[in-house]
A and B are shown apart, each in its own frame.
Chain A
Amino acid sequence: MKHDQPQLIDALASEYVLGTLRGAARRRFERWQNAEWHVASRVRTWEGRLIPLTLGLPPIAPSQEVWEKIEARIRNSDAPGIGTARRGAARPALRALAAVLLLCAIFAGGYVAWRMTESLHLQTVATIKGAQGPVAWSIELDARHKRLRAVALAGAVAQPGHSFELWALLPGKAAPVSLGLLPAAGQLERTLSVAQRAALASAAQVAVSLEPPGGSPTGAPTGPVLFVAALNKA
């Protein structure tokens, strides 16, 4: 099977989502989409196209016991120590939860104060520019990689009808992870999600792609990659 043909990937993704790809072919395709982000991205696109077909079905209220069983399974999965708890054992669980919440409250105050001072210090981790031209953006992070600031510089030239999107490039075949849009002028600062922080932890480079206004509609770069820059984490 030639796996580098976009049309073939798209056709397989559509039959996979439709459910008509079966048996060994389906399992093969599942392994493939787990390994390659561009295949997974086509699957997401087709889910967005076909799932609306089922949204017209009149909802059916589940039986009362469905939620009770979900709750019990979640309690078990979250708290192995009280995993076998039956209803009568709910009180000790509540007391444990209250104790945890109290501890959290005590630490929260100190943590917030500590984080506020820490986030003031951002360091430049990437300088994005073309081979010849002036620097387009400077990317800054705080020490814990929770805050990202992007500063547009002389080389950032607005492209009408498009947005610039910043990506963390991960090693191997993992999909690039969006770090959000870049400003065409001025600066933008944002708090990074857990997924974005994890991506930054393993990324060695960042890239900038040209996307439709508001950013990539698919979660993966869709437009041309304009710049790639090294990530110099402290």
Chain B
Amino acid sequence: MSDTDAANSMESELARLIHACAARDRHALRQLYDLVAGQMLASMLRILKRRALAEEALQDVFVSIWQRAAQFESARGSARIWLMAIARHRAIDVLRSERVDLYRQADVEQLPHAGMEGLGDWSSAGRSAAALARCFEELSGEQRRGIELAFVNGYSHADIARVTGEPLGTIKSWIRRGLASLRQCLER
């Protein structure tokens, strides 16, 4: 089975399980949990730093999936992105309401790049994994790092300025230009 076939089959399985949750099938929720909870926890922990906080937020995510499953429409986009977006929004909400020490985990240089290595096994709705990886690679190193720190670690502009030692205005410009380049590249 090719990567694309595997990604499509994962997508349809996730969509099927979300629909089953909408029909109140708890076993389907457990299957979803087995498939994506580890990935969600990894991304939430990068933002929230404290495991207890991230695991509590993960509970909220699955209760939310159970309650909102009927709102998911597979025609409107990727099931995996829908699930991961719920996790991400919850982590950001908790980050905003808790006093999370962003620098507790490590010096920024010690944090591994999240990178695009996970892109090989999936593709988002309408955009191939290869296109995303290629466009991300086209960004300058600073733009890529700024976007990664903001998105993957949940850092604000000021946080990034602090850990990189660059002026705030420079950071805002890296990110603004990086996002614009990413958009242009993906829409080509």
Binding site for B on A (CB under 8 A): 10-11, 14-15, 17-20, 22, 44, 47-63, 66-67, 69-71, 73-74, 77-78, 178, 180, 193-195, 212, 215, 217-219
- In the bound complex, how far is the Cα of B70 from the Cα of A11, in angstroms? 30
Chain B proximity of A93: nearest CB distance (Å):
12
From known contacts A54-B43, A56-B114, A59-B41, infer whether A18 and B156 are also in contact, taking CB-CB under 8 Å. no
Q: Interface size of B by Cβ–Cβ distance < 8 Å? A: 65
Judge if B141 is at the interface, Cβ distance under 8 Å.
no
Interface set, chain B 58-86, CB cutoff 8 A to A: 58-59, 62-63, 66-67, 70-71, 73, 75-78, 80-81, 84-85
- In the bound complex, how far is the Cα of B38 from the Cα of A219, in angstroms? 28
Kindly report which residue of chain A lies nearest to residue B175, judged by CB atoms.
A20
User: Closest 4 CB pairs between A and B?
Assistant: A219-B76, A59-B38, A56-B118, A217-B126
B179 touches A15 (CB 8 A): yes
- In the bound complex, how far is the Cα of B113 from the Cα of A58, in angstroms? 11
Judge if B20 is at the interface, Cβ distance under 8 Å.
no
A180 touches B126 (CB 8 A): no
Judge if B26 is at the interface, Cβ distance under 8 Å.
yes
From known contacts A44-B77, A56-B118, A57-B39, infer whether A70 and B55 are also in contact, taking CB-CB under 8 Å. no
Judge if B157 is at the interface, Cβ distance under 8 Å.
yes
B41 touches A217 (CB 8 A): no
Given contacts A48-B127, A61-B37, A78-B24, 8 further A-B contacts (CB under 8 A): A19-B154, A44-B77, A48-B77, A52-B118, A52-B122, A59-B42, A74-B66, A194-B70
- In the bound complex, how far is the Cα of B69 from the Cα of A193, in angstroms? 13
A193 touches B58 (CB 8 A): no
B150 touches A63 (CB 8 A): no
**B78 proximity list for chain A (CB < 8 A):** 48
From known contacts A47-B81, A57-B152, infer whether A180 and B75 are also in contact, taking CB-CB under 8 Å. yes
A69 touches B76 (CB 8 A): no
**A218 proximity list for chain B (CB < 8 A):** 76-77, 126
A49 touches B175 (CB 8 A): no
Judge if B33 is at the interface, Cβ distance under 8 Å.
yes
Interface set, chain B 17-43, CB cutoff 8 A to A: 22, 24, 26, 29-30, 33, 37-39, 41-43
- In the bound complex, how far is the Cα of B115 from the Cα of A215, in angstroms? 31
From known contacts A14-B183, A44-B77, A178-B75, infer whether A66 and B59 are also in contact, taking CB-CB under 8 Å. yes
Kindly report which residue of chain A lies nearest to residue B24, judged by CB atoms.
A78
Judge if B117 is at the interface, Cβ distance under 8 Å.
yes
Chain A proximity of B18: nearest CB distance (Å):
12
From known contacts A59-B42, A195-B73, infer whether A54 and B62 are also in contact, taking CB-CB under 8 Å. no
**B148 proximity list for chain A (CB < 8 A):** 53
**B43 proximity list for chain A (CB < 8 A):** 54, 57
Kindly report which residue of chain A lies nearest to residue B117, judged by CB atoms.
A56
**A19 proximity list for chain B (CB < 8 A):** 92, 150-151, 154-156
Kindly report which residue of chain B lies nearest to residue A63, judged by CB atoms.
B55
Kindly report which residue of chain B lies nearest to residue A20, judged by CB atoms.
B150
B151 touches A193 (CB 8 A): no
Judge if B176 is at the interface, Cβ distance under 8 Å.
yes
- In the bound complex, how far is the Cα of B118 from the Cα of A145, in angstroms? 42
Kindly report which residue of chain B lies nearest to residue A47, judged by CB atoms.
B85
- In the bound complex, how far is the Cα of B84 from the Cα of A215, in angstroms? 24
Kindly report which residue of chain B lies nearest to residue A72, judged by CB atoms.
B59
Partner of A66, one of B58, B73, B122, B182: B58
A55 touches B77 (CB 8 A): no
B67 touches A77 (CB 8 A): yes
B45 touches A70 (CB 8 A): no
Judge if B119 is at the interface, Cβ distance under 8 Å.
yes
- In the bound complex, how far is the Cα of B27 from the Cα of A71, in angstroms? 10
Partner of B116, one of A44, A47, A52: A52
B151 touches A67 (CB 8 A): no
Judge if B186 is at the interface, Cβ distance under 8 Å.
yes
